[in-house]
A = this chain, B = another copy of it.
Amino acid sequence: MPPSAPSTTAAYSADYSLRERLAQRYREVRAHSLALAAPLSPEDQCIQSMPDASPTKWHLAHSSWFFEAIVLQPFAVGYRPFDKRFAHLFNSYYESLGPRHPRPQRGLLTRPSLGEVHAFREHVDAAVLSLIADVDAAAWESAAPLLVLGLNHEQQHQELMLTDILHAFSCNPLLPAYRRAGPSSMPPTAELPAMRWLPMPGGVTPIGHTGEGFAFDNETPRHQVLLPPFRIADRLVTCGEYALFVADGGYQRPALWLSDGWAMVQAQGWQAPAYWISPGDPRAPSAEWQEFSLRGVRSLDTRAPVSHLSFYEAAAYAEWAGARLPTEFEWEAAYGTSAITQMIGEQWQWTRSSYDPYPGFRPLCGAASEYNGKFMVGQLVLRGGSSATPAGHSRGSYRNFFPPAARWQFSGLRLAKDA
């Protein structure tokens, strides 16, 4: 027997197990997308409330097209697209993959129907699972990382499905709830601990992905950053704290704001975070501030982390509080510190870092090169992950990014200070 046989068998076993695990993860991630869409009617899933948001149905189709374009067409021998016209409809921004339906008109795509999009998903799922099972080892080497990319991509769209439908529902005077169920984040009697400042030593700090497990290209390469000592808050700013800023005239005092932020406050008439409902609003009469959420209109939970802030608002609050936002490097340096809380899973946290490439950054190859790199200007980095982020999707090195005026994400803030 050739000496390589045993190791081949071992590799095969390992490979088999890997493939099986990936297939299982594929099924779970794909099923989760449908589960998120389940509370929504076909009408709900069709609409687009602003150019930056997309319909639920479009998310369901686009994440399937992504597998088709990135994995199936290059690697699945004999694969036939479900409908050749879908590449035009469901390509988001990949210039190398051809022209696209205009982004602001995604809400006009009543056809294909939701049923057809479900059939598209099933068609892609069957082909992907078949590819996982059958593709030869050489192709597997190339395809597997792209499959994993596709799953992480779909998870990003899972969060967007929630942020986008929340925006859409906020435009409906009936203020419908995405779903009524679900506990609030804290038991009503819980007392909020006072915020504490954690001292951090600074120094030469490794930043970026360690290389274990999946990461997006924008988290690499891992490199050293020299940080001065600083202090960082052990928890996020709450709605109750932010309400004090509002009550103190925060939205009327230009000295607290960056110039572009103040222009936005005036142009858009901002008075509070995006989905706060002011006392007396005819859509949901109340004497108190309320919040519109995925669970409908609720009393403001003063202990919960504030959300749906733009970068401008986060920075203005920090100024008002006599503090500042942490840089993304400070945030990452603080990640894993014992006393720190609410790092992942509560709210995305605006940092005081523009979204620039890391030293030595190289985008992925092929169409995936357009995934992150081409957006590295005009955006700010958010760190952490929100309650809408799929479990296990984020990590300490994860770099989310949005333009500074974006408010429809689950975005709050954590304070920092110089040492």
Chain A residues close to B by CB (< 8 Å): 41-47, 49, 85, 88-89, 93, 95-96, 101, 105, 107-114, 168, 171-174, 176, 204, 223-228, 254-255, 257-262, 311-312, 315, 327, 352-357, 359-360, 369, 374-378, 380, 404, 418
Kindly state the separation between the CA atoms of A2 and B223 in the bound complex, as whole angstroms: 62
B377 touches A111 (CB 8 A): no
A45 contacts which chain B residues (CB < 8 A)? 43
Name A173's contact: one of B89, B352, B360, B418 (CB within 8 Å): B89
Name A42's contact: one of B41, B101, B176, B224 (CB within 8 Å): B41
Kindly state the separation between the CA atoms of A114 and B110 in the bound complex, as whole angstroms: 14
B110 touches A44 (CB 8 A): yes
A228-B359, A254-B95 known; A105 vs B171 contact (CB < 8 Å): yes
Name A228's contact: one of B262, B360, B369, B376 (CB within 8 Å): B360
A168 touches B108 (CB 8 A): yes
Kindly state the separation between the CA atoms of A109 and B114 in the bound complex, as whole angstroms: 18
Name A259's contact: one of B93, B110, B311 (CB within 8 Å): B93
Given contacts A224-B226, A378-B378, 13 further A-B contacts (CB under 8 A): A43-B43, A44-B111, A47-B47, A47-B107, A47-B108, A111-B172, A112-B174, A204-B226, A255-B369, A258-B376, A260-B377, A262-B374, A354-B354
A204 contacts which chain B residues (CB < 8 A)? 226
Kindly state the separation between the CA atoms of A96 and B171 in the bound complex, as whole angstroms: 24
3 closest Cβ contacts across the A-B interface? Answer: A354-B354, A95-B254, A226-B226
A85 contacts which chain B residues (CB < 8 A)? 173-174
Name A223's contact: one of B101, B223, B228 (CB within 8 Å): B228
A369 contacts which chain B residues (CB < 8 A)? 255
Kindly state the separation between the CA atoms of A63 and B257 in the bound complex, as whole angstroms: 24
A46 touches B43 (CB 8 A): yes
A359 contacts which chain B residues (CB < 8 A)? 227-228, 327, 418
A88 contacts which chain B residues (CB < 8 A)? 173
A259 touches B226 (CB 8 A): no
A227 contacts which chain B residues (CB < 8 A)? 359
